[in-house]
A = this chain, B = another copy of it.
Amino acid sequence: MKLVAIYRQPPDSESFDQAYFGTHLPLLEKVPGLQRTVITRFSRTVMGEDLYLMAEMYFQDLEALKNGMRSPEMAAAGKNLNSFAEGLTTLLFAEEIEDGR
């Protein structure tokens, strides 16, 4: 089970990066039950929306994810996020269902 955050292209990517990697990720890493975070940087849009960054945050299962979401650590990370990424963020629960080849 994972929590996926997708960020659209920010107006100022340098200050976004400073806030994201400097303050947001360290707060996020304190969330109980979070096992692993994979960050993806989008480099070129072939079709559709201009996206900037994605974070995939892995938890043991749905219950662990829900517990993480309800934690004060996640509330702090979310509050921090709103200070620099409001309107840019899509946040979803997700599951990897196939790992082909």
A72-101 CB contacts (< 8 Å) to partner B: 89-101
- Whether the pair B100, A36 counts as a contact (CB closer than 8 A) is yes
Q: Bound complex: CA of A4 vs CA of B48, how far in Å? A: 12
What is the count of identical protomers in the complex? 2
Q: Is the interface of A mostly helix, strand, loop or mixed?
A: strand
- Given A34-B101, A89-B47, also A39-B94 (CB < 8 A): no
- Whether the pair A93, B46 counts as a contact (CB closer than 8 A) is yes
Nearest 7 A-B pairs (CB), nearest first? A48-B90, A44-B93, A47-B91, A39-B98, A46-B91, A37-B100, A42-B92
Q: Which residues of A contact B (CB under 8 A)?
A: 2-4, 6, 25, 29, 34-49, 51, 54, 69, 89-101
